Amino acid sequence: MQKLPKVIDRLAEKFAALPGIGPRSAQRLVFYLLHNPESELEDFAAKLVALKKETCLCSICHQISDHDPCSVCEDTERDRKLLCVVEQPLDLLALERSEQYHGLYHVLHGCIDPLNHVSPDELYLADLVKRLDGVEELILATNPTMEGEATAMYITQLIKQKGLADKLKITRIGHGLPIGADIEYADGLTLMRALEGRREV
Amino acid sequence: MQKLPKVIDRLAEKFAALPGIGPRSAQRLVFYLLHNPESELEDFAAKLVALKKETCLCSICHQISDHDPCSVCEDTERDRKLLCVVEQPLDLLALERSEQYHGLYHVLHGCIDPLNHVSPDELYLADLVKRLDGVEELILATNPTMEGEATAMYITQLIKQKGLADKLKITRIGHGLPIGADIEYADGLTLMRALEGRREV
């Protein structure tokens, strides 16, 4: 029986290890790449190698950046009395795209998730507590999931335990119906949160 | 507004250029890779670069192989009176997996597809005609699509024009209901072909 050259399987394994790519799609990607010129593959390879070399984590907020401190942390126009906690670097970018927030950020790089063995020690929580000096409002913008809620609750407890809660207003990002949604199809928990978060018009 | 390091966008563009990966998934793949150690990325890059260096096309059947001629073409146990034409290298592997075919192959690397500007000249058709000496049956196993049918028809015409059709039996791979399918849900064209291809029990 005919067998494929080993390098095809080895490259397919690399693709299949990425999230959302199964072994069949991985094989199809490799066959697609076989039709590319060698220079194109070398370019792809160079960018893979450059990924870690040309990026770093901001030592203040832990966002992925190409310089330290990152452009948000070094921006003197930003409101340093506001600090927003997010789970992932992409969450920070989503908030930035909304152009509604002008404070600083803190990226946890995950959330407390006992089922996947992520304990609070593995998040950038110790640095967060050290950054609260001068901050007036801490916005907890972790995801509205079980793990995100638990993380928000853990941070609140942690700050209270350290006796830092008196001078600090801790808020949770608003939950409710997303714009364009249909009440008819909304789940019960979202509706409950939407009712809790109702505001006078 | 915070911007991502350029290398992230550049690598994401590479992933987004692959079939079936959109810009959002490409970005997610890059963020996933950021959590990998640098050695892992270097390994991935090395395998990308090796892909073209360690593979070649068999000069006889045009299958992707690591040596020329490929293991099928150099196998003296194979029935050299049978030649099966397929569109793609993966089609050859699928037929090999069935373990029912012991002849030789010819890989066209595509099918005639005027809408995507693929003309017969871009397929390995000239070599096919030269290989027919000693072949008793030519099995056309292009896909049962418009383009695959057109390619099968083109090959038949080509062989007749060259006056090679007399000594050669040209067959088309059988069409009909796939095993495990439900007649209720089969499309009309498949049922038509299944009726045409009915056999005495």
What are the pLDDT digits (tens) for A78-104? 999 999 999 999 899 888 888 889 999
With tokens 């029990």, the residue in question is B201
Alpha helices in B58-110 (DSSP H): 89-98
The identity of residue A28, as a single letter, is R
Count other C-beta atoms under 10 Å from residue B156's C-beta: 15
Q: What is the mean pLDDT of residues B70-87?
A: 94
How many angstroms separate the CA atoms of B75 and B91, rounded?
19
B63 pLDDT more than 80: yes
* Chain A positions in Cβ-Cβ contact with residue B20 (cut-off 8 Å): 25, 28-29
The pLDDT of residue B194 is 82
A109, A124 Cβ separation under 8 angstroms? yes
Alpha-carbon distance of A69 to A61, in angstroms, equals 8
pTM, entire model: 0.77
What average pLDDT does the structure give for chain B? 91
In this prediction, residue B111 carries a pLDDT of 93
Region A126-153: mean pLDDT is: 92
- Token readout for A167 is 């001078």
Structural contact between residues B134 and B81, judged by C-beta atoms closer than 8 angstroms:
yes
Taking the Cβ of residue B7 and every Cβ of chain A, the question of whether any pair is shorter than 8 Å is answered with yes
- Indicate the residue of A4, A10, A20 with minimum beta-carbon distance to B64: A4
What pLDDT score was predicted for residue A98? Answer: 85
What pLDDT, on the 0 to 100 scale, is given for residue B197? 81
Running DSSP on this structure, what letter comes out for residue A115? G
Average pLDDT, integer, range B81-95: 92
Is the CB of A163 inside 8 Å of chain B's CB atoms? no
Q: Does A116 touch chain B (CB under 8 A)?
A: no
Kind plus residue range of the DSSP H or E element containing A85 = strand A79-86
Whether the per-residue pLDDT at B186 is higher than 90: the answer is: no
* DSSP label of A172: E
- Please report the pLDDT score of residue B1 as a whole number: 61
What is the model's pLDDT at position B2? 65
What's the confidence (pLDDT) of residue A4?
A: 83
Q: What is the pLDDT of residue B46?
A: 96
Whose tokens are 């096309």? That residue is: B57
Q: Using 50, 70 and 90 to split pLDDT, how confident is the model at A1?
A: low
Query: What secondary structure letter does DSSP report for B69?
Result: S
SS3 B140: strand
**Assembly ipTM:** 0.79
Residues of A in contact with B23 (CB under 8 A): none
A166 band by pLDDT with thresholds 50, 70 and 90: confident
- Residue with structure tokens 């079939």? B19
- Single-letter amino acid code for the residue at A61: C
Q: Per the CB < 8 Å rule, is A27 touching B51?
A: no
- B14-45 pLDDT, tens digit per residue, is 999 999 999 999 999 999 999 899 999 999 99
Give the per-residue pLDDT at B125: 93
Contact B34 A52 (CB under 8 A): yes
| Residue A102, number of CB atoms within 10 A of its CB | 12
Mean of the pLDDT values across residues B45-51? 95
What are the tens digits of pLDDT across the range A11-64? 999 999 999 999 999 999 999 999 899 999 999 999 999 999 999 999 999 999
- State whether residue B68 sits within 8 Å of chain A by CB: no
The model's pLDDT over A129-138, given as tens digits with 9 standing for 90+, comes to: 999 999 999 9
Min Cα distance A19 → chain B (Å) is 7
Instruction: List CB contacts of B103: < 8 A, sequence separation 6 or more.
Output: B78, B79, B80, B81, B82, B83, B84, B137, B139
Give the Å distances, CA to CA, from A198 to A31, A176, A183, B29, B36.
54, 9, 14, 38, 43
Beta bridge partners of A57: A64
- Give percent above pLDDT 70 in chain A: 99
The pLDDT score that the predictor gives to residue A181 is: 80
Q: What is the pLDDT of residues A110-131, one digit of tens each?
A: 999 989 889 999 999 999 999 9
Q: In this model, does residue B145 exceed pLDDT 80?
A: yes
Q: Is the pLDDT of residue B50 over 70?
A: yes
Q: Which amino acid is at B96?
A: E
Contact (CB<8Å) A1/B97:
yes
For residues B78 and B18, what is the distance between their CA atoms, to the nearest angstrom?
A: 36
Q: What are the structure tokens assigned to B107, written together?
A: 């890989």
- The Cβ of residue A135 has, within 10 Å, a number of other Cβ atoms equal to 19
Residues of A in contact with B6 (CB under 8 A): 54, 66
Nearest C-alpha neighbor of A87 from the set A16, A150, A129: A150
CB pairs under 8 A between A and B: 148
Residue length of chain A: 201
